Amino acid sequence: MARDKKDTSGAITRRGLVLMGAQLALVGTLAWRMRHLQIDEAERYRLLAEENRVNIRLLPPARGLIYDRDGTPVAVNRQNYRIVMIREQAGNPELVLARLARLIDISPERRERVLRDMYSRSAFVPVTVAEHMEWESFARVASNAPALPGVLPEVGLSRHYPANEVFAHVVGYVGPVSDYDLSQIEDPDPLLQIPDFQIGKNGIEKRAEPELRGSAGTSRIEVNAAGRVIRELDRTEGRSGEDLQLTIDSGLQDYTLRRMEGESSATVVMDVQTGELVALASAPSFDPNNFVFGISTGDWRALNEDEYRPLYNKAVSGVYPPGSTFKMVVALAALEEGLVDPGETVFCGGSIQIGNRRAHCWRRGGHGWMDLNDSLKHSCDIYYYDIAQRVGIDRISAMANRLGIGLRHDIPLPAVRAGLTPTREWKQQVHGQSWLVGDTVNSGIGQGFMLASPLELCVMTARLATGRAVIPKLIRSVNGVPQFAQEAEPIGLAENNLAHIRRAMFDVSNNRRGTAYRSRIADPAMAIAGKTGTSQVRRITEAERRTGVFRNEDLPWNRRDHALFVAYAPYEAPRYAIATIVEHGGGGSKAAAPIARDVMIRALYGPNPPLDAWPTAMHDEIRERRRLGVDSASVQRSRA
Amino acid sequence: MIYWEQMNAKPVPTGPAKLLHLHWPLILLICAVCATGFLMLYSVAGGTLDTWAKPQMMRFGLGLAVLFIVAMIHIDFWKKIAPLAYLGGLGLLVAVEFVGVVGMGAQRWIDIGPLRLQPSEVMKVTLVMMLAAYYAWLPPEKVSRPLWVAVPLILTAMPVALVLKQPDLGTSILLLAGAGVVMFLAGVSWWYFSSATAVVGGTVWAVFQSRGTDWQLLNDYQYRRIDVFLDPTLDSMGAGYHITQATIAMGAGGISGRGFMQGTQSRLNFLPEKHTDFIFTSLAEQFGLIGGLTLLGLYTAIILFCLLSAFANKDRFGALMTGGLAATFFFFFAVNMAMVMGLAPVVGVPLPLVSYGGSAMLVLLGAFGLVQSAHVHRPRGAYG
């Protein structure tokens, strides 16, 4: 049957309903999808949207400053004038960079690197073109800004050490965070991820890193899809690092370093009452500022390959056989145990037989009959071979520990190394050998296994001087809050025993026959009490002894003896203790004692010690030294 | 029968009385959708009318005038000029190949004085008109005969091919969908649709199956293009970026939205084409699920009103054209929404009446004018 119009319109309706159903189904699908996105997944997407929008920018805190004892800054933050460039704004970066190179000095390598960095990062990320600029060149760029699109002059902060090499070993230096640092330290501080951020790499800068660093502020900024900053949403200011005041006197430190110049040496000066270290110097030194700028490989190699090891803090990390400076420890141990009487004498004939070996005194002909005082004054070895055997290694080591040797002193330097006070167990454990009498004998004169750092020897001297367990300190105040140095506890040694030792030390320096008589302080009120030491770095063969060839001057530098000297002054009312070592310097009395004495005079009298402090015979020499400027009082400073 | 029908038939209104017989609910719905568009354009421009909202409003005013004028003109006139309109549209599409301006990579338009005409937009309407006129003329018994099926296929294939050449995949899909729906409503046998589906499906299957074999049908780069088309995330900085940001914007909106002008995704330019193809996500971000469903509801109501109007229309041309235009409109927003919600590949279809765009607005309002004309001038049944 033929369909008429009405039928077809009915067909339209039927098919239209099918269509409508299909469309409603699709609408349903869309609605379901909307529900899924906006209810089920809403939380997730909200977070993503927030992430899109908000960038957190860290505001690096100003690093804490470091001052010396008197408030002279030794580590400061200097404005770092730098030029950054943003590719997006530069238009033609090559052209702009070429123009910039006409204004300031940019090496072709640097230029290439800048371009590479710019193209490898997003177009809106600033790339540093030049840093640590002179104000003049910085100003030149700034005034030419209109011709340099995308070039931004910026002022940041960078570390500067005004005292240059004087505090290098104490304060250390900062440097950019390396991948190695990141792998070594477990520090979640996001600041470390900032490309230009610097952390302490050495010295106090390294040990007091958390205090000095402070904490980052944050700025939450809204960015658009291109990463461009739209506005700052909020900002939390960080906390700048804490300022540290050291116990070190920069004047004395400077003098000490200059006095040691030319030698591989170290000197530690300590206030015996408080334990405050007023000088801690290791020579030769280096300029930490070179590290902040990024040291060149050539300079680095020069520093590293130097035989005198300028990078090494010998004052706290150098451990040496203490030699005769150790004799006080042995003597005191014997006295405390009642194993020796101060008046008792031992005969020194130059050598004694111990077991099947022969032990020699440094003086081939021997000293004759020696009591305690004489033994220290002349630094007789035989006496100590004898009493060391009586006391035994364990008690010697225990006394050494009590006096501060062989223990790691907790001062905020990274490289503090403990010396070594051997015991029977120690030898068995480390060397797998049993302790021999010969070991005890060697230890009795501070040789053999015995090791101590200049810091430890200084502590030892301070403890002998005061009878108290003085603890070394390097930080005087933190953010202006004094770190009170409590008076040290008495060490628990009999005062009369200590008096014998002190008297002997006084004689070492002030008795005409004392080994350090030439390095005395002339003024009786400031009299120094000390002990020389000469420690062997090689074994002297029997053959050498027979032929008598062991003059240090005939040996290559690195096989010569170390020269040591420890002292305190004034004898009557001790104020400072000092320990000096001159590596391979030969005899303690000749190489180390004069340095220690001069430093002590500088410490006691201040910047301009009177000529009278020195023995009359030395006045001409001192005058000459002053004329040459060696003893000038000023602290060398770089321009701030 | 005929007598009964004549007795119950209501007269077709004439003169100003026609205004009363317009489908006012439909007009109000259209105005509501357009108003939503203005609000969104105001918002994504960062709170200014000048950028997008104002030009859009002016076009809306013009479009509304066009709607009323077209609605007042008798439907028979539109039926008569349908072939002419079709030929005109086709001519413009050819012309655009030679004198057209290429913008945004694909869209092509012709500048006629101040008017920027996009022939592919016009074609969406004229193709439906043409096919409706064709089926109004064609005796119903011939509808499914192969020869008579081939005619509308050719009529459809020509503009589709031209639009594809632009290339504008989105518009091609809408053209095909509109034409398909008119043919479907006209009563073309199910078999044709099933066979077409089977052929297309089989071809796709063959194309994919051949991948990596000796008889591979497409080049490797073409396959990669298909891959990216199907899964935009493969192209993370291109289409994938758009979709990711769009879904983030929608999801971040939640149920009630982040509030008017509070959408960070759209305000901070994370959303691409936020004022055109992706404007829906901006709405969803600011007004949430509630806002999104409301707009979807408005659209659905428009479709339903159109279809109901078509059902009530005894004029074959009017009914088919209304159904076809409604379907085109439906695919318009459905494809856009599915696209921005990550349900369909990104093909570049704006959101009708909401997205910023000149021709689309004018043409859509003109099309609704045709629907109104068909509605006003429909031969009425007893319950029409």
Tell me which residue of B361, B4, B352 sits closest to B170, measured CA to CA. B352
pLDDT confidence of residue A636: 42
- What separation in angstroms does the CA of A211 have from each of A20, A66, A259? 73, 11, 33
Of A31, A37, A52, the CB nearest to B270: A52
* Chain A residue numbers touching B253 (CB-CB < 8 A): 38, 42
Q: In the predicted model, is pLDDT for residue A66 greater than 50?
A: yes
Residues A369, A467 within the same domain? yes
Residue of B nearest to A53 (CA): B264
DSSP-derived 3-state class of residue A216: coil
Q: What is the mean pLDDT of residues B177-194?
A: 92
CA distance A354 to A348: 14
DSSP-derived 3-state class of residue A272: coil
Q: Mean pLDDT check: name the lowest of A41-50, A184-193, A268-277.
A: A184-193
Q: Are strands A217-223 and A229-236 parallel, antiparallel or unpaired?
A: antiparallel
Q: What is the mean pLDDT of residues A101-125?
A: 79
Domain end (from A195, A217, A243) = A243
* Chain B residue numbers touching A52 (CB-CB < 8 A): 245, 248, 264-265, 268, 270
Percentage of residues of chain A with pLDDT beyond 70: 91
Asked, for residue A189, whether it belongs to a domain, the answer is yes
pLDDT confidence of residue B112: 65
CA distance A314 to A456: 12
Q: What is the mean pLDDT of residues A612-622?
A: 90
- What separation in angstroms does the CA of B89 have from each of A320, B111, B126? 101, 15, 7
Q: CB A9 to CB B314 under 8 A?
A: yes
Q: CB B248 to CB A3 under 8 A?
A: no
Q: Mean pLDDT check: name the lowest of A491-495, B107-111, B201-205.
A: B107-111
Give chain A's mean pLDDT. 86
pLDDT confidence of residue A557: 80
CA distance A427 to A418: 17
CA angle A137, A141, A142 (to 5 degrees): 115
Q: In the predicted model, is pLDDT for residue B107 greater than 60?
A: no
Starting at the edge strand that comes first in sequence, how are the strands of the sheet with A54-59 ordered?
A: A54-59, A217-223, A229-236
CATH code, domain carrying A473 = 3.40.710.10
Rounded to a whole number of angstroms, the distance from the CA of A89 to the nearest CA of chain B is: 19
Cβ neighbors of A207 (< 8 A, separation 6 or more) are A200, A412, A413, A414
Q: Is the peptide bond before B83 cis (omega within 30 degrees of 0)?
A: no
Of B181, B186, B296, the CB nearest to A30: B296
Tell me which residue of B290, B292, B276 sits closest to B349, measured CA to CA. B276
* Chain B residue numbers touching A44 (CB-CB < 8 A): 251
pLDDT band at A5 (very low <50, low <70, confident <90, very high): very low
Classify residue B301 as exposed, middle or buried by CB count within 10 Å of its CB (0-12, 13-18, 19+): middle
Residues A335, A351 within the same domain? yes
CA distance B332 to B355: 11
Q: In the predicted model, is pLDDT for residue B254 greater than 80?
A: yes
CA distance A554 to A471: 40
Of B140, B248, B289, the CB nearest to A39: B289
ipTM comes to: 0.91
Rounded to a whole number of angstroms, the distance from the CA of B74 to the nearest CA of chain A is: 20
Task: Please indicate if any CB of chain B lies within 8 Å of the CB of A623.
Answer: no
A133, A81 contact by CB (below 8 A): yes
Do you know the residue count of chain B? Answer: 384
Asked, for residue A311, whether it belongs to a domain, the answer is no
CA distance B317 to B129: 8
Of B249, B264, B310, the CB nearest to A16: B310
Asked, for residue A328, whether it belongs to a domain, the answer is yes
Q: In the predicted model, is pLDDT for residue A640 greater than 80?
A: no
Task: Please indicate if any CB of chain B lies within 8 Å of the CB of A557.
Answer: no
pLDDT confidence of residue B383: 47
Residues A260, A175 within the same domain? no
Rounded to a whole number of angstroms, the distance from the CA of B313 to the nearest CA of chain A is: 8
Asked, for residue A34, whether it belongs to a domain, the answer is no
CA distance A76 to A64: 8
Hey, CA dihedral for A538, A544, A546, A550, is it positive or negative? negative
Query: Helix crossing, B169-186 with A5-35: angle to 10°?
Result: 140
Rounded to a whole number of angstroms, the distance from the CA of B46 to the nearest CA of chain A is: 13
Task: Please indicate if any CB of chain A lies within 8 Å of the CB of B343.
Answer: yes
Domain end (from A243, A267, A291) = A243
Q: Is the peptide bond before A284 cis (omega within 30 degrees of 0)?
A: yes
Rounded to a whole number of angstroms, the distance from the CA of B219 to the nearest CA of chain A is: 33
Tell me which residue of B75, B93, B245 sits closest to B157, measured CA to CA. B93
CATH code, domain carrying A144 = 3.30.1390
Cβ neighbors of A170 (< 8 A, separation 6 or more) are A203, A204, A246, A248, A253, A280, A413, A474
Element (H, E) at A176: strand A174-176
Cβ neighbors of A550 (< 8 A, separation 6 or more) are A540, A544
Q: CB B248 to CB A49 under 8 A?
A: yes
Asked, for residue A342, whether it belongs to a domain, the answer is yes
- What separation in angstroms does the CA of A590 have from each of A132, A567, B18, B191? 45, 15, 126, 117
B277, A67 contact by CB (below 8 A): no
Q: CB B184 to CB A35 under 8 A?
A: no
Q: How crowded is residue A314: how many other Cβ atoms within 10 Å of its Cβ?
A: 28
* Chain A residue numbers touching B252 (CB-CB < 8 A): 42, 45-46, 48-49
Task: Please indicate if any CB of chain A lies within 8 Å of the CB of B239.
Answer: no
Distance of CA A566 to the CA centre of its chain: 22
CA distance B378 to B384: 9
Element (H, E) at A128: strand A126-130
Rounded to a whole number of angstroms, the distance from the CA of A286 to the nearest CA of chain B is: 52
pLDDT confidence of residue A64: 93
- Count A/B contacts: CB-CB distance under 8 Å: 145
- Which A residues 214-233 touch B at CB under 8 Å? 222-226, 230
Task: Please indicate if any CB of chain A lies within 8 Å of the CB of B382.
Answer: no
Q: Are strands A481-482 and A475-478 parallel, antiparallel or unpaired?
A: antiparallel
Query: What is the distance between the terminal CA atoms of chain A, rounded to a whole angstrom?
Result: 111
* Chain A residue numbers touching B270 (CB-CB < 8 A): 49, 52-53, 224-225
Element (H, E) at A476: strand A475-478
Task: Please indicate if any CB of chain A lies within 8 Å of the CB of B184.
Answer: yes
pLDDT confidence of residue A221: 76
Rounded to a whole number of angstroms, the distance from the CA of B92 to the nearest CA of chain A is: 31
Asked, for residue A432, whether it belongs to a domain, the answer is yes
Q: CB B341 to CB A48 under 8 A?
A: no
Residues A326, A194 within the same domain? no
Q: In the predicted model, is pLDDT for residue B71 greater than 60?
A: yes
**How many domains in chain A?**
3
Buried-exposed string A39-68: b where 16+ CB fall within 10 A, e elsewhere: eebbeebbebbeebbeeeebebbebbbbbb
> What pLDDT, in 10s, does the model give residues B269-325?
667 777 888 899 989 989 999 999 999 999 999 999 999 999 988 899 999 999 999
Residue A324 structure tokens: 């005769």
Residue A243 structure tokens: 């300022």
pLDDT confidence of residue A134: 84
CA angle B241, B243, B245 (to 5 degrees): 65
Residues A272, A382 within the same domain? yes
Rounded to a whole number of angstroms, the distance from the CA of B52 to the nearest CA of chain A is: 20
Task: Please indicate if any CB of chain B lies within 8 Å of the CB of A428.
Answer: no
- Which B residues 299-338 touch A at CB under 8 Å? 299-300, 303-304, 307, 310-311, 313-314, 316, 319-320, 323, 327, 330, 334, 337-338
Q: What is the mean pLDDT of residues A147-168?
A: 85
Q: Is the peptide bond before B379 cis (omega within 30 degrees of 0)?
A: no
Domain end (from A104, A127, A156) = A156
Residue of B nearest to A16 (CA): B185
Asked, for residue A304, whether it belongs to a domain, the answer is no
* Chain A residue numbers touching B185 (CB-CB < 8 A): 12, 15-16, 19
The single residue listed with the structure tokens 């403890």 is A463
Of A12, A38, A49, the CB nearest to B185: A12
Residues A547, A478 within the same domain? yes
Q: Mean pLDDT check: name the lowest of A527-531, A601-605, B8-12, B211-215.
A: B8-12
Q: Is the peptide bond before A454 cis (omega within 30 degrees of 0)?
A: no
Rounded to a whole number of angstroms, the distance from the CA of A223 to the nearest CA of chain B is: 7
Hey, CA dihedral for B119, B120, B123, B124, is it positive or negative? negative
Q: What is the mean pLDDT of residues A549-560?
A: 72
The single residue listed with the structure tokens 């354009």 is B41
B204, B317 contact by CB (below 8 A): no
Of B250, B264, B296, the CB nearest to A31: B296
Residues A407, A544 within the same domain? yes
Residues A565, A582 within the same domain? yes
Backbone angles phi, psi at B263, to 5 degrees: -75, 110
Within 13 Å, how many C-alpha atoms sit on residue A478's CB side? 15
Q: Is the peptide bond before A570 cis (omega within 30 degrees of 0)?
A: yes
DSSP-derived 3-state class of residue B106: coil
Residue A190 structure tokens: 């996001």
Domain that holds residue A236: 47-72+163-243
Residues β-bridged to residue A82: A154
> What pLDDT, in 10s, does the model give residues A382-414?
999 999 999 999 999 999 999 999 988 888 888
Residues A444, A394 within the same domain? yes
Rounded to a whole number of angstroms, the distance from the CA of B98 to the nearest CA of chain A is: 36
Task: Please indicate if any CB of chain A lies within 8 Å of the CB of B349.
Answer: no
Rounded to a whole number of angstroms, the distance from the CA of A254 to the nearest CA of chain B is: 59
* Chain B residue numbers touching A37 (CB-CB < 8 A): 247, 250-251, 284, 341
Classify residue A183 as exposed, middle or buried by CB count within 10 Å of its CB (0-12, 13-18, 19+): exposed
Q: Mean pLDDT check: name the lowest of A179-193, A317-331, B232-246, B264-278.
A: B232-246
pLDDT band at B69 (very low <50, low <70, confident <90, very high): very high
What is the four-CA torsion angle of A182, A188, A192, A193, rounded to 10 degrees?
90
Residues A330, A347 within the same domain? yes
Element (H, E) at B6: helix B2-8
- Single-letter residue type at B21: H
CA distance B78 to B129: 8
Of B265, B268, B319, the CB nearest to A222: B268
pLDDT confidence of residue A102: 86
CA distance A525 to A242: 41
Q: CB B303 to CB A23 under 8 A?
A: yes
Of B311, B316, B334, the CB nearest to A26: B334
Stronger pLDDT, B165 or B384, i.e. the higher one? B165
CA distance B60 to B45: 18
CA angle B318, B320, B325 (to 5 degrees): 95
Backbone angles phi, psi at A487, to 5 degrees: -65, 135
Of B252, B293, B307, the CB nearest to A34: B293
CATH code, domain carrying A183 = 3.90.1310.10
Residues A227, A375 within the same domain? no
DSSP for A25-53 reads: HHHHHHHHHHHIIIIISHHHHHHHHHHHH
Stronger pLDDT, B54 or B275, i.e. the higher one? B54
Element (H, E) at A569: strand A562-569
Q: CB B255 to CB A42 under 8 A?
A: yes
Residue A527 structure tokens: 């009299």
Q: Mean pLDDT check: name the lowest of A301-315, A321-335, A443-457.
A: A301-315
Of B296, B303, B319, the CB nearest to A9: B319
Of B299, B311, B341, the CB nearest to A34: B341
Residues A283, A411 within the same domain? yes
Percentage of residues of chain A with pLDDT beyond 90: 44
* Chain B residue numbers touching A28 (CB-CB < 8 A): none
CA distance B258 to B262: 6
Asked, for residue A32, whether it belongs to a domain, the answer is no
Q: In the predicted model, is pLDDT for residue B105 greater than 60?
A: no
A242, A200 contact by CB (below 8 A): no
DSSP-derived 3-state class of residue B302: helix
Distance of CA A420 to the CA centre of its chain: 21
Q: CB A20 to CB B307 under 8 A?
A: yes
Backbone angles phi, psi at B16, to 5 degrees: -60, -20
pLDDT confidence of residue A84: 82
pLDDT confidence of residue A6: 45
B343, A33 contact by CB (below 8 A): yes
CA distance A288 to B266: 52
